[in-house]
């Protein structure tokens, strides 16, 4: 099995050093209404699966890399683009999305930044739940966001590919981030920037994580309050080396 589990280990390692300047796909963009070259769209639709199963949020359909896809089994280097992190529904993002869908008042009428948005599921959950303004942010161009909005019959929302961690915080009502604590240096940067968001604008911060040591062993853990915990579906457990649950934390510095 070339892409899972071994590819997932490589993906987590590479995420810690990936750069902001590489285009994920031809035709990628950093704004709502992103359009794909026809050949690229055809390739993605042929080599990913649109699915609602195996996650905490069957309400949301996503285009993902699954065991029924050719490139789940192929050698990773045969994938013709940069690594498709967006094609995995990571467990911390699943927990955040589930929490928002179950508690729509968390986002209704509020501005939401989805930091490290990946497949865009948490931003989609926020839009389904009545958020007034959404920005999906990830340093990979957000082709997945446009495709997954289409699947869920939603108009695309704005996306940004800038590395905004460390920049002057904007006045968001809520910042959500799932599975972002995979690297110690990044964890340090996130802690300081999120603290600025709270102290400058009173922004609420929700973090989704399945128990990675970069979060549980970091000093930020002392500033977290458990909001919800969800047992992971069996397919997600199998794809994440036996992780059994994901937690939603509120950051309260």
Is the per-residue pLDDT at 49 higher than 70? yes
| Average pLDDT value for residue range 20-44 | 54
Name the pLDDT band for 131 (thresholds 50, 70, 90).
very high
Identify the CATH assignment for 37-251 out of 3.40.50.720, 3.90.1150.10, 3.30.930.10, 3.40.50.150: 3.40.50.150
pLDDT band at 2 (very low <50, low <70, confident <90, very high): very low
pLDDT band at residue 53 using 50, 70 and 90 as cut-offs: very high
How much is the pLDDT for 86? 82
Which CA distances in Å does 36 have to 21, 104, 141?
Answer: 18, 31, 12
Instruction: Report whether pLDDT(36) > 70.
Output: no
- Given this model, what pLDDT does residue 141 score? 56
Q: What is the pLDDT of residue 142?
A: 55
pLDDT value for 77:
76
Q: Which of 79-83, 174-178, 181-185 has the lowest mean pLDDT?
A: 79-83
Structure tokens at 7: 């590819």
25 — phi, psi (to 5°)? -140, 150
Task: Quote the distance between the C-alpha of residue 99 and its chain's center.
Answer: 14
Mean pLDDT of 61-69: 90
Hunting for tokens 């992103």 — which residue is that? 34
pLDDT at residue 34 in the model:
55
More confident residue, 196 or 10: 196
Rounded Cα gap, residues 83 and 7, in angstroms:
9
Closest C-alpha among 114, 119, 129 to residue 55: 119
Please say if the pLDDT value at position 27 is more than 50. no
Residue 68: phi and psi, rounded to 5, are -90, 0
pLDDT of residue 19: 33
User: What's the average model confidence in pLDDT over 5-16?
Assistant: 40
Question: For residue 240, what pLDDT band results from cuts at 50, 70 and 90?
Answer: confident
**DSSP 8-state class, residue 57:** -
**What pLDDT, on the 0 to 100 scale, is given for residue 233?**
94
Mean pLDDT of the chain: 85
pLDDT at 210: 96
Q: Say if CB 180 and CB 154 are below 8 A apart.
A: no
Which residue did the predictor score with more confidence, 134 or 30?
A: 134
- Rounded to an integer, the average pLDDT of 16-26 is 34
| Mean pLDDT in residue range 82-109 | 93
Q: Show the CA angle centred on residue 78, arms to residues 76 and 80, nearest 5°.
A: 110
**What residue segments make up the domains of the chain, in order of their start?**
37-251
Higher pLDDT, 106 or 76: 106
pLDDT in tens, 74-92: 777 777 776 778 888 999 9
Beta strands in the chain (DSSP E): 49-51, 62-64, 111-115, 133-137, 159-160, 174-178, 204-209, 224-231, 245-251
- Assign 208 to helix, strand or coil: strand
Q: Locate tokens 């981030």: which residue? A: 177
Dihedral sign, Cα of residue 241, residue 243, residue 244, residue 246: negative
Alpha-carbon radius of gyration of the chain: 17
């Amino acid at each position: 099995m070339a892409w899972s589990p071994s590819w997932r280990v490589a993906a987590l390692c590479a995420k810690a050093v990936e750069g902001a300047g590489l285009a994920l796909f031809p035709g990628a963009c950093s704004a709502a209404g992103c359009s794909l070259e026809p050949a690229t769209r055809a390739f993605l639709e042929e080599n990913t699966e649109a699915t609602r199963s195996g996650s905490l949020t069957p309400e949301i359909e996503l285009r993902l890399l699954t065991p029924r896809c050719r490139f789940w089994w192929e050698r990773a280097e045969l994938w013709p683009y940069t690594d498709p992190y967006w094609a995995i529904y990571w467990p911390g993002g699943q927990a955040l999305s589930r929490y928002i869908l179950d508690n729509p008042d968390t986002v209704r009428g509020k501005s939401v930044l989805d930091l490290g948005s990946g497949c865009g599921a948490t931003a989609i959950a926020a839009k389904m739940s009545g958020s007034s303004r959404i920005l999906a942010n990830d340093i990979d161009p957000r082709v997945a966001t446009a495709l997954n909005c289409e699947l869920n019959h939603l108009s695309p929302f704005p996306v940004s590919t800038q590395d905004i961690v460390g920049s002057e915080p904007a006045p968001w009502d809520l910042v959500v981030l799932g599975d972002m604590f995979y690297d110690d240096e990044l964890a340090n940067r996130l802690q300081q920037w999120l603290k600025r968001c709270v102290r400058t604008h009173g922004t609420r911060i929700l973090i989704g994580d399945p128990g990675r040591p970069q979060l549980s062993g970091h000093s930020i853990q002392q500033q977290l309050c458990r909001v919800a915990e969800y047992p992971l579906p069996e397919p997600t457990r199998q794809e994440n080396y036996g992780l059994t649950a994901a937690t939603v934390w509120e950051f309260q510095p």
